[in-house]
Structures are given as C-alpha cells and as structure tokens.
Amino acid sequence: MPEPDPASNGIGWLRATVSRFANGPVHARRRAIVEELVAGVDPGDLRRPYAGHPVAPLARALGVTEPAIVNVVADVRVAAAAYQTGDTAADPAVDRLVSVFGGRYDEATAAHIQLLVQACDATASLIERTRTRMSGERARTHTRDERARTHTPDERARTHTSDERARTNTRDERARTHNPDERARTHTSDERARTNSRDERARMSTVDEVLRDDPPVLATRRVDPDGNVVAVSLSGMPFGAGPRACPGRELAMALVEGALR
C-alpha cells in the first residue's frame, strides 16, 4: 500500500495514521484498533430503520450525540472525498472530527474517523443503487400484475366464483371459532410477520445482486514488487479479502438494511 508522508494534523495526519495506508506491523497494530472498535458496535442498532445518511447512525453508535451529528456527517463527507487524494481543503473538517472524538491526534482517534470515512461513500452508494434496482423491480412487478388482472369473461367468472368460495370458507371458519376476533388478530399478526420476513429477504437479495453486478468500489490500490502503484480489481470480492478485507463489512450491511426498511 502506498504510504503517505507524516503530518501533524488535517487530512495528511489522518492518512498517515490510519491502518488503510499503512503496511506490515504498523498496519496490523492499527487494524486491531479498528477491529476492536467494530466489535463494540451492535449491528442490531444499525439495522433499525433510519432516514438520511448512513454515517449518522454509525456516528451515534461510536458515541457522537446530538446536535453534533449533523456537523459530523458533513465533515465526514468532506474527509471521505479527500481520503484518497489528500486534498488539504479537507483539513478543517478532519480537525473538527478530531475534536469530536476527544481532541487527541493519536491512532485511536484516527480509527474512529477512519471507520466513518470508509463507511461513508461506499455504503451510501450501495443503498442508492439497491433502491434504484428495487424501484425497477417494483415497476416490472406492477406491469405483470396489471396484465394478470386483464381476464377474459370466462376467467373473470371463474375468479369471481373462486373469490366467493374463499369468502364463504372464511365465514364458515369464523363461525367455528369461539373467539373470531382474537383469531383474526392472530392471523393478521402472523401474516404481517411473514410478509415482513419475505420483504426483508427480498431486499437483502437485491443488495447481494448489486454487490455482484454493480458494486460501489471496483478496485483498490497496491504497490507491486517493483514499487509501482497498481490497481487491483475487487471483482467478486466487494469488501476485499485477506488481511486488508474491510473490517466493517457486517456494520455496512446492517446500515444498508436499516436504510431500506
């Protein structure tokens, strides 16, 4: 991995202090800090429905409180845009994030910011791409349903007879039940739970399709044996692999799940 030059503050400091751009034992030490931080976040909290940018619930899980959340999201987005390039225009945003997480320019603070920055654009893009694909699927389903509702007279008659028979069976079933209202409520609750479960599986299946067909991150950078910086495809492994695999994969997927609920 290309290593940035040392810096005392701003985006230069962040790049020089996170595990993302480090190598060897330094990378291992810093990654361990990030992994410990990730382990302290409950993915269940991130799966709760939310609106807005995915950085917000993750920042809350890392201890950021209102009203700082709005500014933290804005600063993380600025830092994320400069994360690869080192654009010093992001220096004030990074320095404000350091203040939010205690004001110390150390590896622990960098790990907090790193987790937010690396989750920022990729997670937001995955959510948006999934929503776009789901919208297309809903449109196609609606078209099929419309076609299915266009019956011949004989089909309409058969459908009417079938519907009437179903209503009769329902009335008979209710008549056999001592507490029809309670039974109806139980049935409705069970059906709602089954529907929610089906919807959840469908949403996450669409997420998997996006990660396979249209992942937010297509490649990463490495240094080859000759010292040249080369692009490495992430095809088939959208969260990377090996010692540099994304440490926050579970959290990212939980954020996507929460946004789509």
- Quick: pLDDT tens for 197-212: 677 777 889 999 999 9
Query: Measured between alpha carbons, how far is 171 from 167 in angstroms, rounded to an integer?
Result: 6
Weakest mean pLDDT among 93-97, 110-114, 120-124, 138-142 = 138-142
Query: Measured between alpha carbons, how far is 97 from 120 in angstroms, rounded to an integer?
Result: 14
Helix (H, G, I), strand (E, B) or coil at 18: coil
Indicate the Cα dihedral angle 104, 107, 112, 116, nearest 10°: 120
Query: Measured between alpha carbons, how far is 19 from 245 in angstroms, rounded to an integer?
Result: 12
CA 137 remoteness from chain centre: 20
pLDDT band at 127 (very low <50, low <70, confident <90, very high): very high
With CA atoms as reference, report the closest residue to 75 among 45, 120, 37, 107: 120
Percent of the chain at pLDDT exceeding 70: 74
Give the mean pLDDT of 216-225.
73
Residue 158 clears pLDDT 60, i.e. is over it: no
Q: 216 near 3, Cβ under 8 Å?
A: no
Query: Measured between alpha carbons, how far is 1 from 20 in angstroms, rounded to an integer?
Result: 8
Residue 139 clears pLDDT 90, i.e. is over it: no
Q: 221 near 230, Cβ under 8 Å?
A: yes
- Quick: pLDDT tens for 26-36: 999 999 999 99
The predicted pLDDT at position 146 comes to 58
DSSP tally for the chain: helices H, then strands E:
10, 2
Domain locations in the chain as residue ranges? 10-135+212-217+243-260, 139-209
Give the mean pLDDT of 164-191.
57
The predicted pLDDT at position 199 comes to 73
Strand partners, 111: none
pLDDT band at 91 (very low <50, low <70, confident <90, very high): very high
Q: Is the dihedral of CA 139, 141, 147, 150 positive or negative?
A: negative
Strand partners, 47: none
Query: Measured between alpha carbons, how far is 202 from 208 in angstroms, rounded to an integer?
Result: 10
Residue 160 clears pLDDT 80, i.e. is over it: no
Residue with the larger pLDDT of the pair 208 and 142: 208
The predicted pLDDT at position 188 comes to 63
Work out the mean pLDDT of the chain and round it to a whole number: 84
With CA atoms as reference, report the closest residue to 107 among 21, 43, 1: 21
Weakest mean pLDDT among 3-12, 75-84, 207-216, 249-258 = 207-216
DSSP state of 149: T
The predicted pLDDT at position 176 comes to 53
- Matching residue, tokens 């939310």: 50
pLDDT band at 20 (very low <50, low <70, confident <90, very high): very high
The predicted pLDDT at position 106 comes to 98
